[in-house]
Amino acid sequence: MTLDLLAVGPHRDDVELTCGGTLIKAVDSGKRVGILDLTQGEMGTRGSAELRAQEAETARQLMGVHVRENLGLPDAGITNDNDTRAALVQVIRKLRPRVVIAPAPRGRHPDHRCTTELVRDACFLAGLRKYAPGDHEPFRPIKLLHVITYREDYTKPTFVVNITEQFERKLEAIKVYGSQFDGTTQAGEVYPNGEPLYDIVRHHAAHYGSLIRTQYGEPFFTDETMAVDDVTSLGVSTF
């Protein structure tokens, strides 16, 4: 199996909240897309791991994502050690994603911060032939992206993906996790402002969309400087 895009999230629903629109857009364009949840979410205050598993599969089908796997790491206990790196390396080598999406480099949940470092290290180590040999050939993704939705305290986005056509489906996928979100005003990296959670998601997406003069968007950060071949084709009007 070879994927064009793999999104890695510490908990079921993190990917939908942060970059669900981008995944749906990739599927719409014919790309092969996957999600890897690192934990089963067993420490969540609401719902249960079993219910969240059902919700995650429903969301996968709704988004059209081709594969969704779970690494089974301990919820609220993700570590970036050799055992977890080796486990993640095996999945990367099996799925062979060209591009990997990881959480923002900062996050209020410890699992989110640890996941970011874990994903980066595993992506590099997956290309080393002598590291954790297994059933799959060494492979290293071309690009690592950080999705920084809701993290205004971090940095200005490197780029924003226009998800105007995909936003309602993104929101529908989020609402699948009713056990976690119905009647709430915060979740994951979404800080409360008194509004219902689903309204906050819409307003944030509208803000990011406004940065590129579209209705809805999702922001990303990369450590690398982006290359431009033709400056006359750049989008987003200055005025």
d(CA 15, CA 37): 8
**Contacts for 102 with CB less than 8 Å, ≥ 6 apart:** 8, 115, 116, 119, 120, 144, 145, 146, 147
> What was the pLDDT predicted at 41?
85
> What is the model's pLDDT at position 188?
87
pLDDT in tens, 202-228: 999 999 999 999 999 999 999 999 999
Phi and psi at residue 91, in whole multiples of 5°? -70, -40
Q: What distance in Å separates the CA atoms of residue 106 and residue 104, rounded to the nearest whole number?
A: 5
> In the chain, pLDDT over 90 holds for what percent of residues?
92
Residue 238 has pLDDT above 80, yes or no: yes
- Give the chain's length: 239
What integer pLDDT is reported at residue 1 of this predicted model? 77
pLDDT band at 152 (very low <50, low <70, confident <90, very high): confident
Q: What is the pTM for the complete model shown?
A: 0.96
In the DSSP assignment, the letter for residue 44 is -
Q: Any alpha helices (H) in the chain, and if so which ranges?
A: 14-28, 49-63, 82-95, 110-125, 167-175, 178-181, 197-211
pLDDT at position 142 over 80: yes
Strands in 131-170 per DSSP E: 143-147, 159-162
**Cβ distance 56 to 39 under 8 Å?**
no
pLDDT score at 17: 97
Residue 33 has pLDDT above 90, yes or no: yes
Q: Cα–Cα distance between 139 and 100 in angstroms, integer?
A: 12
pLDDT over threshold 80, residue 154: no
